[in-house]
Chain A
Amino acid sequence: MNALNSLMDGFGTALTPINLLWAAIGVLLGTAIGVLPGIGPAMAVALLLPVTYGLDPTGAFIMFAGIYYGAMFGGSTTSILLNTPGESAAVVAAIEGNPMAKSGRGAQALAAAAIGHFAGGMVGTILLVALAPKIADLAVDIGAPDYFAIMVLAFIAVTSVLGSSRIRGLASLLIGLTIGLVGLDQMTGQQRLTGGSLQLADGVDVVIVAVGLFAIGEALWVAAHLRRGGAEAIPVGRPWLGKADVKRSWKSWLRGPVIGFPFGAIPAGGAEIPTFLSYVTEKRLSKHKDEFGKGAIEGVAGPESAASASAAGTLVSMLTLGLPTTAVAAVMLAAFQQYGIQPGPLLFDREPELVWGLIASLFVGMVLLLCLNLPLAPLWAKLLRIPRPYLYAGILFFAGVGAYAVAGEAIDLVILLVIGLLGFGMRRYGLPVLPAVIGVILGPAAEQQLRRALQISDGSVTGLVDTPFSVTVYVIILLLLAWPLLKKLVLRKGRKAAQDREDAAV
């Protein structure tokens, strides 16, 4: 009941003209970014971090959330019409969506995706309203050891769940932690890794690291491998759905969030795994199994709904625990730090206007997105024709603006370029970028919590595990670390079962 009242207050905040404007700008930008190749929501929010210097937090976060959701909507358009997914969340949409477009059913594929995103986002956000305050209440007593445990969880999850190589994930995390060390030690004022330079005493600003790794690194990487004369988008009319299509899709739309939301809330790589799981589920449950691979509408509807629901799940962890589970959440966390706001259980008490305004704006944004995407999809698809030199020159341009806006120092641009080249090298050698960004954002905070916890316990290591909450988190960490072993066992069993079935069939 309480949550409902707060939500109503939230709508009061979200529906003010200025915040409506930010929501509209957010979803427009987000859709464009989702459609545009080479630029994802994490990069977009990173490039927009400088607006935090001029904007109030509520407006900024309403815009960022709009970008996050909008990019999910827009990403599927590219997947369906071009068969080259921009966001990792939209990979699955290409499997069925593109064959549909090729066989002249692009309009239906776009509609199934857009309504899927709407349904998934709505269900996910309702779950967010129901669950987030409860989790925040449960976690309200957490102290330094618990915060430290959560941050260790973020480090471990981001290195061992994502990507194909743990060593490379850890290497990336350690690079991030090292960058995070640069500057004055927060508790003693000791200079670290500054080489005596006054410039580095303030540390390397998170904005510069995020923009460097996400934007400059990506732009340079694409520039080195730019596809000449890329694929042509399939022309498409206005999205619409016939009765038969709706009948086939509605269950998939509702099943998607069940898979997507929990996966978004845990650090398991955002939307990639749930969209794939949803696809497999839809394939298994469908009455039209023979159509899968050739353009089955359920294969678009379910995964897209799961993708948007996972975005809502991500916000649960981010807002209630300060635990970023995706790149976008990591950059949004950086934005919270810029404002000096600590996301976590106390956020709901301390910043109710911000939190509930943000949540309410998600509902508003979703309606705006549906209105924008259903009738305007062919228009959005035109964005794909933007000449690539302009697109990547534009990314470099805005990266430059963002880094310069941090402090108005030209030297920051040089640091930005160096970090960008680092990001280029990381992409070349398969080091994931996200662990580095999480290391920079959470590293200093984790060190502080660790030292605070040990200060309280007078140096005894047991001080790190003296609460039920922290013990639970460490158990989860152990499970994550043991996961590859477990997975091997499960796979072996699964393979054996498949073998048996094959044998039986023969």
Chain B
Amino acid sequence: MTATIEPPKPEAPKSWLREYSELGVSVLLLALGVLVLTDALTMEVDIEQRGPIGPKTVPIVVGIGLLVIAVLLAIDVLRGGRGEAEGGEDIDLSEPADMRTVLLLSGVFLGFAVLIGPLGFPIAGALLFWGAAFALGSRRLDRDPLIAAVLSVVTYAVFNNLLGVPLPGGPLIGAL
């Protein structure tokens, strides 16, 4: 264990953090494990539970498993093990992650969640598509809103009327 861990260089703490950012996954698993165990151990179980193992047992096993794996993963990362980022057809891993787009898309999606109630699906859905396409770099103002509107209205009709899965119509459908 002496030679495998390189001591962090004091002049570049940020790059050490970046280098070992995967430790964040360990921290997350650790936190999740603590949460699951706390929840399981504070459970008030009635005396008349059915069967030899009650609702606590499996959460305790899962919680302990999470803690163990968190430690194992941390050891693996410190020894130089790295999770392989997933590749794909449209994926270019040579560039650093474009977190701005991810945040923008998350924002657009949250906006959809907020607006679907008051505006109804056809309008909120069109905004979602347009917003997402915009965040992804599409700037065709002549085409994007039109595609978004058609897609949203057609989807609404298919789900609401053909498949019998109700979606909120909102003021637009109310007005028709």
Chain A residues close to B by CB (< 8 Å): 37-38, 50-51, 53-55, 78, 82, 84-86, 164-165, 167-168, 170-171, 174-175, 177-178, 181, 185, 187-188, 190, 192-193, 216, 218-228, 230, 387-390, 392-394, 396-398, 400-401, 404-405, 408, 410-411, 413-414, 417, 420-421, 424-425, 427-431, 447, 450-452, 454-455, 458-459
Contacts and interface: CB of A to CB of B under 8 A. Distances in A.
Given A54-B164, A171-B73, A396-B109, A223 B101 contact: yes
B136 A393 contact: yes
Contacts of A227: 90-92
B6 interface: no
B113 interface: yes
Given A177-B62, A188-B45, A188-B46, A37 B90 contact: yes
A123 to B, nearest CB: 29
A188 B55 CA distance: 7
Contacts of B132: 389, 392-393, 396-397
A299 to B, nearest CB: 21
Contacts of A413: 109, 112-113, 116
Contact of B106 (A85, A390, A417, A431): A417
Contacts of B121: 401, 404
B128 A405 contact: no
Given A178-B66, A192-B59, A223 B105 contact: yes
A192 B59 CA distance: 9
Interface centre among A84, A190, A459 (most CB of B within 10 A): A190
Nearest to B67: A174
A222 B113 CA distance: 22
B123 interface: no
A429 B82 CA distance: 8
Nearest to A396: B132
Contacts of B22: 429
Given A224-B99, A396-B109, A400-B128, A410 B151 contact: no
B113 A188 contact: no
B90 A171 contact: no
Contacts of B92: 225-228
Given A190-B45, A397-B151, A455-B50, A430 B84 contact: yes
Contacts of B17: none
B19 interface: no
Contacts of A38: 88-90
Contacts, number: 234
A50 B162 CA distance: 13
A178 B36 contact: yes
B80 interface: no
Contacts of B89: 37-38, 78, 82, 84-86, 230
Interface size class of B (residues with CB under 8 A): 35 or more
Contact of B36 (A55, A181, A450): A181
A421 B105 CA distance: 11
Given A178-B62, A227-B91, A430 B82 contact: yes
A55 B151 CA distance: 21
Contacts of B151: 394, 397
B149 interface: no
B109 A225 contact: no
Contacts of A165: 76, 81, 83
A181 B102 contact: no
Given A188-B49, A429-B85, 5 more contacts: A174-B66, A227-B92, A389-B132, A392-B136, A429-B22
Interface in B103-145: 105-106, 108-110, 112-114, 116-117, 121, 125, 128-130, 132-138
Nearest to B36: A178
Nearest to B59: A181
Contact of B93 (A78, A190, A225): A225
A37 B168 CA distance: 31
Contact of A454 (B53, B114, B155): B53
A396 B32 contact: no
A450 B61 CA distance: 13
Nearest to B168: A408
